[in-house]
Amino acid sequence: MKYPVRTLAATALVALIAAAAPAQAGKHEWGAEGDMMAIKGSMLDNGFRDAARTINRLPSGDVFAPQRMYDKPEHYGFKPYVSNWDPQNDHPQQWDGLDWDPSMWNKDWTPEVTLNKFFKARIFERQFMRKGKPPVPVLELGPTFYKISDLDQRRALKLLSDFTGVFNEGFPVVELRDWHTAEIVGTYTPKGMFMN
């Protein structure tokens, strides 16, 4: 018996809304800031009238939002102290002191001793000159090279290039090859290491 009572109540509510609609049909209601117009008429027939169906809608069917919804507050003018896109140029002093300085090492620990240990630990396999015009210096990287950190890879390559003086002899680049495949895996220039 509850079902017919609910049905009757819903029907009465719909009839009440439909009766109130003609009284409001000629009125225009504006929002608090005057940027959006309230839809005229009852809610029941708005979906079927062309004028009401397209109010605040774009041709694609998306609902148009007023510009105030997209405006950023004044405090949104935030500029970070540390930039993610170019940290080396914004704060160059943070990169100072990361390279190894052999002059600060123990007198028994020289660059030559360090490089001999690098070859023994298979960080570097061998170095040679690739024939051609012009000849290109080649460094074969050992399996341990891939296990050390990126910073230590760069430090080891810089130590080797500074000790051998390869860039002072006029070579613009050192070719980096894999010890196992003998394929070129990158290059080292005075600007740094570039891996493929």
**Residue 77 and residue 150 share a domain:** no
In tens, the pLDDT along 24-61 reads: 555 544 444 444 444 444 444 444 455 556 677 777 77
Please state, in angstroms and rounded to a whole number, the distance separating the CA atoms of residues 127 and 28.
85
Q: Is residue 108 part of a domain?
A: yes
Q: Provide the domain limits for residue 23.
A: 16-81
- Give the number of domains in the chain: 2
Q: Residue 159 above 70 pLDDT?
A: yes
Entry field: residues in the chain: 196
**Residue 190 and residue 117 share a domain:** yes
**Residue 109 and residue 68 share a domain:** no
More confident residue, 99 or 53: 99
Its pTM stands at 0.53
pLDDT at residue 101 in the model: 87
- The mean pLDDT of 60-73, rounded to a whole number, is 72
pLDDT at residue 113 in the model: 93
Mean pLDDT rounded to a whole number for the chain: 75
Q: How many angstroms separate the Cα of 168 from the Cα of each of 164, 173, 176?
A: 9, 11, 18
Under 8 Å between Cβ of 37 and 30: yes
Q: Is residue 11 part of a domain?
A: no
Q: How many angstroms separate the Cα of 159 from the Cα of each of 71, 116, 162, 187, 196?
A: 54, 12, 5, 15, 21
pLDDT at residue 43 in the model: 45
